[in-house]
Structure 1
Amino acid sequence: MKHQPVEGFSKLSKEGKIEWLVNEYLNGDEKAIQTLKQYWNDDADLQKLHDEFSENTISNFYMPFGLAPNFLINDELYTIPMAVEESSVVAAASKAAKFWLDRGGFKTTVISTTKLGHVHFMYEGDVEKLRNAFEATIKAKLIEETNDITKNMRARNGGILNLELIDKTADLENYFQIKGSFETVDSMGANFINSCLEQFAKTLKNEIDADATFSTEEKDSLQIVMCILSNFTPDCIVRAEVSCPVEQLAEGNVSAEEFVEKFSRAVRIAEIEPYRATTHNKGIMNGIDSVVIATGNDFRAVEACAHSYAAKDGQYSSLTHCEVKDGIFRFWIDLPTALGTIGGLTSLHPIVKLALGILGKPSAGELMGIVAVAGLAQNFAALRSLVTTGIQKGHMKMHLMNILNQLEATEDEKKYFVNFFKDKTVTHHFVIEEFCKLRGVKSVEEIKKD
């Protein structure tokens, strides 16, 4: 069936959008309508709130909201809320938290909270004249003409930290930037930064137009391309770390020295090998994104920033590092991330407000530390498994329930399999094989026929 474009889709009611979707793409499937509606909130006001978070909403997409307890961070005990659908993420983080609970816990340090934005523009005139005008008058005028925008932020000890004229003509002909550095305190600050940048662009154009030292041709050549914050925030960075004497790291039949040697080697491989670093960092982001989502922050911006930072030296590399010095093992992450605890969803989404309450209503800096700790814990747990028992044993045991749910196993069957795999390695094939034996059938297809 060939689909047709739709006009005025956004003006349809929610029911109208669903009806169009089902008729146009799902062959009139009534079950699809039931599926979408069963995820609506019974509370009409709450559902209206969710509908207004985005556009063209027809239902809600739920993710598990879990808790990872026993995180000792800067000598204070936390339970970290995590929103994630991947098996074993919460379990791995919790296991790492418990491991470090008696070894001093996690320490965090906010190194810097500076965020960046740029006015991108083209200019074909005298570069030295532009540079002199920027330093002599334009820079001060940019700050002056954003005073109304920055007033409330300045009252909270934030605002514009610095403005620079950046010459990028070596990379692209006639290309310049006004680079703004900002402090946005406990808000993520995107709207604030973008508002400032758009005013900078207007002021820049007006000041050049009013300056008699610029020729008509030079004035006409100044063209604003765009004004936008950067999600790469290498100067908005937090460090999270753990450390303990090497002898405290014995792992089952593996001596402390052997464990540290294997662990350090695994980190080093991720530092030098991009293929491994990508998977290594993806695991780190499992922990980070889970907390970012649970606290109503933009996980896509956090992801983009982290991966840009991982490649800042010209080759994609590990976000975590370790060392042994004077008999002390140390493992850490430097994470660039811009987060907010006020504004956006943080004051609107009921679960987000609850998550921030669980964390003690942290400042943006405190949340940065908690998020970094979650990533470090996730990475420690993964590497610990990789260099000892292997990653699949623990991961597949957590994945077991997903396989059983796909097979529509009964509660008694689930209990049987949890017990059955207590001392065995879970694989998809093994579960299917044993499930068919239990049901007395030769294949899953026979079960589906029933």
Structure 2
Amino acid sequence: MAEPVNGFSKLTKNQKIEWLAKNHFINKEEGIKTLEQYWNKDAKLQALHDEFIENTISNFYLPLGIAPNFLINQKYHTIPMAIEESSVVAAAGKAAKYWQQRGGFKTKILGTEKIGQVHFMYHGDASKLKSFFTEVEPKLYKATETITENMRKRGGGISTIELRNKTSQLDNYYQLHCTFETLDAMGANFINSCLEAIAKTFSAEAHQNSLFSPEEKNIEIVMSILSNYVPNCVVKAEVSCKIEELNEDKNLNPQEFADKFVRAVAIANAEPHRAVTHNKGIMNGVDAVVLATGNDFRAIEAGAHAYASKSGSYKSLTHAEIKDGIFKFWIEIPLALGTVGGLTSLHPLVKLSLEILDKPSARALMQIIAVAGLAQNFAAVRSLITDGIQKGHMKMHLMNILNQLGATAEEKAYFVDFYKNKTITHSNVIKEFNDLKAKNV
């Protein structure tokens, strides 16, 4: 059991590792060696990584893969994906190739509005607060002018500031609901800086205003923070083709495939237990590109799942229909992204990933990432309604099992060929591996 430690953040990196090894590692030398194996040999590059977060002891690697052949709005893209789950990149590439021959993906930005809120408590007459807000609103914009100057020059900035009465949800609770256009920046720091300036001015003006009684003047600012729920920062991606063009499945004819696919998506729209797993598959594609491009996948996840619940019930983020002989499959998803600022200009692989994507604007990146999510979902649903998800997934997982068993290159080649037309299970691979070892001995 670890002992409490004081001043840990002030220790050097090596001192932190020494403390960690002494208190937590079963084999001290082996643990330290493992951490050091993942350090970058370039000391300058390692120092850069060390400063991304606090108390850094090593780097935690994820594979960076690419999925080529994405035809989006008649332009080809190669999409970088950072993810540890086998079969995700392969599935995305397979879906890209499938739709490449059927017109590709089409995308459209539905909105780019981002949101921030000042949450405050007010004990008094709501009509007085409303009158005060009307009077003070121009001063709130003015209070942010130095912060928003550069953003305004590029066409962005604060779009609206609105007073909202939330007392029906919580006694005495109100908010200033603010909307923003942050262009190619994700904008978290920009939005939060604006909100804090707005809150400070709002509170100071209330203290001086003659409309209020002494108690009413004492507005309590609880917090000022952006929201990761951005229902008006949304992108749509879709694929469509004639039903007869859905002709690559051996077990189902095109009409059967289309009908079954639409029903599968309808089930995800009707049943939350299925919807969660259905949407998780979408986020496999989304998160992998979000991570590769240095964006905040936790924020994207939270916003997407909130959007999936906007009706009051958790539903599918994708939709499918058959109309006039045309099969159509699409997604609408909120994506608050940035291609400047943050890690985008610091992390070498993030910079390279954005280069692979031809240095997209935030709007272009929204469209690419929505396509990655739609492609992933198409591949997953297609597998589920035909061969089942495990056949392809376990083939990709086979290498992980063999690596766990310490297989040689020759043994890996043997088992890839051995399982070409066989069902793969973890226990079966172990048995066959042990049998082969025994036979060779």
Distance in 2 between residues matched to 1:422 and 1:113, nearest whole Å:
47
Name the structure 1 match of 2:371.
Answer: 373
For the 8 Å contact 2:251–2:386, the answer to whether it is kept is no
Name the structure 2 match of 1:240.
Answer: 237
Name the structure 2 match of 1:444.
Answer: none
How much does 1:253 deviate?
3.0
Runs of 5+ consecutive residues of structure 1 not aligned to the other structure = 442-446
Q: How does 1:42-441 map to 2 (within 5 A)?
A: 42-135=41-134, 137-220=135-218, 222-250=219-247, 251-440=249-438
How much does 1:217 deviate?
1.5
What is the number of equivalent residue pairs in this alignment?
440
Alignment RMSD (CA, Å): 1.1
Runs of 5+ consecutive residues of structure 2 not aligned to the other structure = none
One-letter amino acid of the structure 1 residue matched with residue 15 of structure 2: G
For the 8 Å contact 2:163–2:176, the answer to whether it is kept is yes
Distance in 2 between residues matched to 1:156 and 1:327, nearest whole Å:
45
Distance in 2 between residues matched to 1:225 and 1:381, nearest whole Å:
45
For the 8 Å contact 2:132–2:211, the answer to whether it is kept is no
Distance in 2 between residues matched to 1:245 and 1:380, nearest whole Å:
16
What is the CA deviation profile of residues 370-394 of structure 1, one whole-angstrom value per residue up to 9, with x for unaligned ones?
0100000000000001001111000
What is the TM-score when the length of structure 1 is the normalising length?
0.97
The SS at the match of 2:111 is strand
Distance in 2 between residues matched to 1:217 and 1:334, nearest whole Å:
46
What is the CA deviation profile of residues 10-38 of structure 1, one whole-angstrom value per residue up to 9, with x for unaligned ones?
11111111100000111452000000001
Distance in 1 between residues matched to 2:12 and 2:27, nearest whole Å:
18
Distance in 1 between residues matched to 2:433 and 2:31, nearest whole Å:
29
What is the TM-score when the length of structure 2 is the normalising length?
0.99
What is the CA deviation profile of residues 60-79 of structure 1, one whole-angstrom value per residue up to 9, with x for unaligned ones?
00000000000000100000
How much does 1:133 deviate?
1.6
Distance in 2 between residues matched to 1:376 and 1:104, nearest whole Å:
15
One-letter amino acid of the structure 1 residue matched with residue 156 of structure 2: G
The SS at the match of 2:224 is strand
% identical aligned pairs: 64
Segment of structure 1 superposing worse, 74-83 or 20-29: 20-29
The SS at the match of 2:383 is helix
The SS at the match of 1:335 is strand
Distance in 2 between residues matched to 1:346 and 1:370, nearest whole Å:
16
Distance in 2 between residues matched to 1:253 and 1:35, nearest whole Å:
48
The SS at the match of 1:414 is helix
Distance in 2 between residues matched to 1:175 and 1:113, nearest whole Å:
28
The SS at the match of 1:417 is helix
Distance in 1 between residues matched to 2:229 and 2:373, nearest whole Å:
18
Segment of structure 1 superposing worse, 430-439 or 351-360: 430-439
One-letter amino acid of the structure 1 residue matched with residue 64 of structure 2: F
Distance in 2 between residues matched to 1:321 and 1:343, nearest whole Å:
34
Distance in 1 between residues matched to 2:254 and 2:363, nearest whole Å:
34
The SS at the match of 1:440 is helix
Change (3 A) 1:28 1:393: closer
